[in-house]
Structure 1
């Protein structure tokens, strides 16, 4: 593995890097190597190299809706945050995968384009937003994505249309294929900039008043079960405020788990499992995680 520095002398590479420095929960163990490509060509080179060396490759956007277990991740972790360019032409916003979705929403507003207001407070990257079909306040990215450029795990660059992407609730095609998103084109509509800004301000206020933004968290932990509201189920079960190690079910919004006292990923994972068990027992409702949990347990 040490050959990676020789192979990519101009690439920013971190060895044995604790991923807690990057995750929104501020938890997570070490990655063997973290690489930060700055161009699509570098992404392709890295993929070809890990394939040749038969190394595991994990892709991270900005790690907002993610828990990395305390044992960390073996092989190479590729963070795409340096691929953050956003361009606006006609009624389209074209954003690289590592750009913040919030920034794409802001660029749309500045260019008098409507359709991305709902995303003004979603902390994920554009690539992660496509991967998850991220949404908030009645909008989802599937509503405005026209196409996406990806690179397959074999190193082939492809373009998917909206129809190809097989969007559904918190799901897209790339979850199944493992393709790596490089660029997304949002097709928007001309709008009144004051109206767009007003809507974004309203949603920001809603988010600030309802969500526990003052603590590290992974955002909404569970998918919404059909016919129920997750936060209400957790509240009704008497779980709100429950603490497991340093992780707590938020007293502000029971659908969030916050890191209030040096929580570990294990604290998060155990608290999630406890919530799922209680809700299943009390209400016979299965809570599926929206947050993705990856990596290895700490070896005994």
Structure 2
């Protein structure tokens, strides 16, 4: 375990004691309510602090993990070593004309609501996406026919060396549920969205309709990571799982949702191991029955127990 007082002192010198938690339970910071502890859970307040923390991790050879708001993520039961960075305190949303600038820790759903208030159209699709702005760019989040690449103009990131970079949307290789952010080790600090003037009532009507569809079809009453699998070409993941008679299938406290087969819910104090085993079981069953490989949309990080 990376957990020495020397590292703690360096971290609080960069930010402050209230922003550095030791042995923090990560299940308290993920939508699945799964995961072991982080050695250091750090919530910086400025871009400069993020840069300094990245440089410290490099200098002291510390493991370093970026955590969004934990909506599309499974943390394993053994937790995460080293520094876990969360940008929840960087959550400002500002606008100028048809442009909205949102910091990484803001929820993309709140950015869509801000767009509505400013009578700007283009982000309606995001009104039900629970992730942060940083997470939305990381995976080019999308729903109901829209995606981040449609409206993103530029972003400010920190690279692996702690440098501040301004990149255009084209620099990120945004594709279906993917970007080059993870492979380049970028930490998103803010995003600039280019929208269009619209009518408040029209925008609100679309958002109300999408919210109704989401709430009526998705199992929001249980902890989950959202849609577990990417849409396979020519198919729908939920339909394949449903047609494999897997709805209600349970391993420990993890269950394939009875409401939407594309979701796996933490129904009864599941462990991350149970949740992940159920994902693998679903993939294996669908492959055997239909010959279709389901690719995970959700990201799995951390260590198994006993590692």
Range into which the TM-score falls when normalised by the shorter chain? over 0.9
Offset, 1:4: 2.9
Query: 1:205-284 maps to which residues of 2 (within 5 A)?
Result: 205-284=212-291
Alignment match, 1:175: 182
Aligned alpha-carbon RMSD (Å)? 0.9
Give the C-alpha shift of residue 45 in structure 1: 1.0
Matched, 1:39 2:46: yes
Q: Which residue of 2 aligns with 1:126?
A: 133
CA deviation string 1:249-282 (max 9, x = no partner): 0000000001110011111100000001111111
Distance in 2 between the 1:170 and 1:83 partners?
24
CA distance in 1, matches of 2:20, 2:226: 28
Looking at structure 1, the residues matched to 198 and 274 of structure 2 have their Cα atoms a distance apart, in angstroms, of 45
Unaligned runs of 5+ in 2: none
Distance 2:234 2:281 in 1: 21
> 2 CA distance for matches of 1:178 and 1:212?
33
Please state whether the residue corresponding to 2:84 is helix, strand or coil. strand
The structural deviation recorded for 1:175 is 2.2
Alignment coverage as a number of residue pairs: 300
Distance in 2, Cα, partners of 1:61 & 1:93: 20
* Stretches of 4+ aligned residues off by more than 6 angstroms: none
Distance 1:162 1:259 in 2: 35
Gaps of 5+ in 1: none
The residue that corresponds to 2:142 in the other structure is 135
| Distance in structure 1 (CA, Å) of the matches to 2:123 and 2:159 | 27
What are the superposed Cα offsets for residues 137-186 of structure 1, whole Å, 9 maximum, x if unpaired?
00001100000110001011111112111110101120221110011000
Matches within 5 A, 1:1-300: 1-7=4-10, 8-9=12-13, 10-11=16-17, 12-299=19-306
Could you state the TM-score of these two structures normalised by the residue count of structure 1? Answer: 0.98
Give the TM-score, by structure 2 length: 0.96
1:191-212 C-alpha deviation (Å, 9 max, x unpaired): 0011111111110000000000
Q: Structure 1 residue 5: deviation in Å? A: 3.0
Q: Separation in 2 of the partners of 1:13 and 1:108?
A: 33
Q: Distance in 1 between matches of 2:73 and 2:211?
A: 22
Partner SS for 1:107: helix
